[in-house]
Structure formats: C-alpha cells, structure tokens
Chains A and B, each alone.
Chain A
Amino acid sequence: MISTRLSSLLLLFAISLISVQLISGIWLFVEKFGILPSEVFSFFAGDEERFIMAKSIEGLLETAVPHFIAISTTIFVYAHFLLFTDIISVHKKFLLISALFITSLIDIASPFGMIYGYELFAYIKILAFWCFELLMAVLLLILFQASLRLSD
C-alpha cells in the first residue's frame, strides 16, 4: 500500500527541485541570450560589429534535440499528476497541457528562423519562453495545492 503522505512529500520535493531548475533556466536564458529581442537575434544570427558568429544548424540541433526530450519528459511527468486532481476543470487541464507543449515547441524551434535572418522569431522566442515559464509556474502551483490537500 502506498502512503498518500509519502507521495505528497515526494511531490513537494519534486516541485521544489523543478522550481530551482526553472529559475536556473531563466537565469541561463538571460545570461546566454540576453533580454532584448535584438540581443537574442544577435546571438543566433550573428553580429559583425560585436564579433558574434552566426549559429549553424548543427549548433542549434545540439541544443534543440536534448531540449525536445528534456522538456517533454518534464511536462509529461509533472502534468500527468493533473489527471489525479480536481482543483481545475478538465477543460482547463486540456488548455494548460496543450499550451505547455506548444509554447515549449515554439521556444525550441524559433532559433531556426533567426539563422535565416528573420528577426520576428526573436520576439516569438522570447514570448514563447516567458509563456512557458509562466505556465510551468501555474502547473507547479496547482500541484503544490493538490499535494497539500493530499497530505491532510
């Protein structure tokens, strides 16, 4: 028999750890790419004045491919707990899970548009990234509330 108190304890730790992971992701994004769309665009498309080389497709794939598996696994592992809680409606769960996968997909794929010179993709990447982080925070808050209910 599995103790619900132990399950909720484990879930609480997992939520704390993935929160630290998300914060490190935000920090890494800002440190590596910058905050402004022009900085993000320069990082991927290159900038002769700042001596920044344009990224190659191979270089982008090296980052994109591990992120496809890492982000989808993270969403899958954490979002599947939503199926066992009634804190939000089925419709909202559907929207949250879809939005998480779609925003992460756009975030990972948008640099490929930038290396062909489309600056619009820098705006899209920034928007998708912050939406994804925000949606993950919402998911973790819901799970946090659910784990507290479980431990009562």
Chain B
Amino acid sequence: MKFLLSKDLHANANYILLLSFYTIMMLLYFIGDIFYMGNFFGTSFEEVLSTLKGNPDEFLEPLSLLSLLEHFHISLFLAILALFTTMAILLRINLMFVHKKIIIILSMGTLLLSFLCLFGTYFVHDIFVYGFVTLSLAWHITGIYSLILILKQVWFK
C-alpha cells in the first residue's frame, strides 16, 4: 500500500509505464492461473472431485495430503501477493468508495473462502467442491476486473 509513494498516478511518465507493465503481468498471472488450476484440478466439479478424492472407475488415486498442502501453500502465497498488490493500486485510482469496497471484499473474501473450501472438499464433504470452483473463479474474475479498471485509468484518463 505504501509502495505507491505518489498519490497522483499521472505524476510521472515512468510511473505510468511501471504500472502498465505490472498490471499486464498481473493480468497474465490471473488468466494463466485459471488455466493452471483447470489443468491441475480439472475443469468440472466431477473432475475436481476425482483429482482430490480419486476415482476407482478411472483408476485414479486420491491426491496425497502432502501434494495438496504443497499446492495450497504455493498457490495461496502467489494469490495473496497478486491480489494484495492489485488492491493496493486500486485504492489509488478514482472510483467510488462503495465500488472499491465491494471489489476488495469480493476479491479478498472469495480468495480466503475458496482455499478454505478446498480443505472442506478434501476433509469434510463433497459439497464444498461447488464453493471451491465458484469462489476460485470469482476471485480470479474480480482480480481481472480490477486490473482492467486500473489499466483504463492509467491509459485513458
């Protein structure tokens, strides 16, 4: 949050350049991560369940706890870093207070809940898979939406 020392996004041409490239890279992260997650867990509720809990019909072994924890640990760190810095930039752009508040709550809240639902699916009940898939898509989409808003302000103000 305090990394962005200037309060005016357009105060410096290099600042715009820096923000533009960072925003584009983050966009690629959010879009790429959707594909990565689809590749790792599967692209439907059934596939995600098969990956996590195994499927005797398809001779699929369940994901080991160690693999799940390693995935969880790395993915959560990257997601926190990406969303936190994106939201820190979002705070600096001209948007209505309520709009910013909804974006922050939606993105950070769904990120937190999606990872909790992942554990819920693995340990508690299959029903959590719906939460995991939907909320994962939600925080990715909110992140992408925020970055588009940032780019729009940086480039077209």
Interface string of A1-32 (1 = CB under 8 A from B): 11100110111011011101100110110011
The minimal Cβ–Cβ distance linking A28 to chain B, given in whole angstroms, is 4
For A21, the chain B residues whose CB sits under 8 A away are 73, 76-77, 80
A72 near B: Cβ within 8 Å?
A: no
Q: Number of A-B pairs whose CB atoms are under 8 Å?
A: 75
Known: A10-B104, A28-B69. A18 touches B80 (CB 8 A): yes
Known: A27-B69, A28-B69, A32-B66. A14 touches B80 (CB 8 A): yes
Known: A6-B91, A13-B109. A77 touches B97 (CB 8 A): no
Known: A2-B92, A10-B108, A13-B108. A24 touches B84 (CB 8 A): no
A3 touches B80 (CB 8 A): no
A51 near B: Cβ within 8 Å?
A: no
Total chain A interface residues with beta-carbon distance under 8 A:
29
* Distance between Cα atoms of A10 and B105 in the complex (Å): 8
* Distance between Cα atoms of A16 and B109 in the complex (Å): 10
The minimal Cβ–Cβ distance linking A62 to chain B, given in whole angstroms, is 12
B2 touches A13 (CB 8 A): no
For A28, the chain B residues whose CB sits under 8 A away are 66, 69-70, 73
B112 touches A31 (CB 8 A): no
For A17, the chain B residues whose CB sits under 8 A away are 76, 80, 84, 108, 111-112
A70 near B: Cβ within 8 Å?
A: yes
The minimal Cβ–Cβ distance linking B82 to chain A, given in whole angstroms, is 11
Interface string of B40-79 (1 = CB under 8 A from A): 0000000000000000000000000110011011001100
Which residues of chain A from 68 to 98 have a CB within 8 Å of any chain B CB? Answer: 70, 73-74, 77, 80-81, 83-84
A84 touches B2 (CB 8 A): yes
B84 touches A10 (CB 8 A): yes
* Distance between Cα atoms of A50 and B130 in the complex (Å): 40
From the candidates A13, A32, A73, name the one contacting B112 in the complex (CB within 8 A): A13
Having A6-B100, A73-B81, A81-B1, one finds 13 other A-B pairs with CB under 8 Å, namely A1-B7, A2-B91, A3-B100, A6-B91, A9-B105, A10-B88, A13-B109, A21-B77, A31-B65, A31-B66, A32-B69, A81-B2, A83-B2
- Among all A-B residue pairs, the 10 with the closest Cβ atoms: A13-B108, A28-B69, A24-B73, A17-B80, A2-B91, A21-B76, A24-B72, A14-B84, A10-B87, A28-B73
